[in-house]
């Protein structure tokens, strides 16, 4: 993959100047949406030098938990600067579906407010001194997938967005002209959370908008197929699928290559 090879080449060329203790670094970043205190995580690998593309990571409906942070670390090891957004508020993390659903509904009830909060997280990423602000993308999981689609629909300053097992909200006609970001979608073909009617409306909306989009469907995969913690214990239709996870991540890294190294 070109991204990995490119950044590894840079790292080797600069090896003489890289400290032996170079590791993935994390910094908690407090910020606010009105009176709501938020706390995201900026993640980078100090083995890499110079300005780099930035990737915003948006969590599932559980809140900013260890899974979202692990994806940010994964991106950092590839040479990107990652920012794991906080969409609910500092400390709002749960393992209870009812609580998660309530928090998600509070955010999604007001689409403009939903987009604003996501854009506030993007501003934190842009403010990082290591970030090349001309090369930005966003990736989201489940609720986060819906969030990054709303960012695309709202015209956020992104080259591309990626949704993994997201709710696939269709674009509204009033937003068609705002869609500039390239769109990548990884979807479980057996995901019962997304009715076929919505999937079709999603596809039609993007076509009518003239968007640059791709949608990959993974046979047999259900909701949350990328999350190893999804074991089907609270709902059998929410389960990890290693094959779909690995295939979709490989496709996503190629998508990032296309965005950042055309």
Asked if the model's pLDDT at residue 12 lies above 70, the reply is no
Whole-number pLDDT of residue 91: 84
Residues in contact with 151: Cβ distance below 8 Å, sequence separation at least 6, in sequence order: 115, 118, 119, 122, 138, 158, 161, 181
Q: In degrees rounded to 5, what are phi and psi of residue 94?
A: -145, 165
- H helices of 154-241, in order, are 196-209
Whole-number pLDDT of residue 22: 62
Give the H or E element holding residue 182: strand 182-188
Asked if the model's pLDDT at residue 260 lies above 50, the reply is yes
Whole-number pLDDT of residue 251: 98
Whole-number pLDDT of residue 8: 41
Q: 242-260 vs 2-13: helix axis angle to the nearest 10?
A: 70
Domains plus CATH for the chain? Answer: 21-260 (3.40.50.1820)
For 254, other C-beta atoms within 10 Å of its C-beta total 14
Does the pTM of the predicted model rise above 0.85? yes
Residues in contact with 138: Cβ distance below 8 Å, sequence separation at least 6, in sequence order: 55, 56, 57, 58, 118, 122, 148, 151, 156, 158, 160, 161, 162
Order the strands of the 160-164 sheet from edge to edge: 24-33, 36-45, 81-84, 52-58, 131-141, 160-164, 182-188, 213-218
Name the nearest CA neighbour of 241 among 226, 257, 253.
226
Question: What is the distance between the alpha carbons of residues 163 and 198, in angstroms, rounded to a whole number?
Answer: 15
87 vs 23, higher pLDDT:
87
Name the nearest CA neighbour of 151 among 202, 110, 117, 102.
117
Question: What digits encode the pLDDT tens for the residues 171-229?
Answer: 999 999 999 999 999 999 999 999 999 999 999 999 999 999 999 999 999 999 999 99
């Amino acid at each position: 993959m070109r991204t990995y090879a490119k950044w590894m080449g840079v790292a080797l060329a600069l090896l003489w100047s890289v400290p032996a203790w170079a590791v993935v670094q994390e910094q908690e970043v407090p910020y606010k949406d009105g009176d709501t205190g938020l706390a995201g995580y900026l993640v980078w690998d100090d083995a890499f030098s110079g300005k780099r593309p930035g990737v915003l990571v948006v969590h599932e409906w559980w809140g900013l938990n260890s899974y979202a942070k692990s994806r940010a670390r994964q991106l950092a090891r590839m040479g990107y600067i990652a920012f794991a957004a906080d969409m609910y508020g500092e400390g709002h993390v749960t393992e209870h579906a009812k609580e998660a659903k309530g928090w998600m509904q509070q955010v999604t009830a007001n689409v403009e407010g939903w987009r604003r909060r996501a854009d506030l997280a993007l501003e934190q990423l842009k403010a990082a001194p290591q970030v090349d602000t001309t090369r930005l993308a966003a990736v989201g999981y489940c609720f986060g997938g819906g969030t990054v689609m709303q960012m695309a629909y709202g015209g956020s300053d992104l080259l591309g967005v990626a949704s993994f097992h997201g709710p696939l909200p269709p674009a509204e006609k009033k937003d068609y002209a705002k869609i500039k970001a390239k769109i990548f979608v990884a979807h479980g073909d057996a995901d019962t959370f997304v009715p076929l009617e919505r999937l079709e409306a999603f596809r039609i909306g993007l076509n009518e908008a003239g968007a640059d989009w791709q949608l990959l469907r993974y046979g047999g995969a259900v909701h949350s197929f990328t999350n190893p913690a999804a074991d089907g214990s609270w709902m059998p239709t929410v389960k990890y699928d290693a094959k779909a996870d690995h295939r979709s991540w490989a496709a996503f890294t190629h998508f990032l290559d296309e965005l950042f190294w055309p």
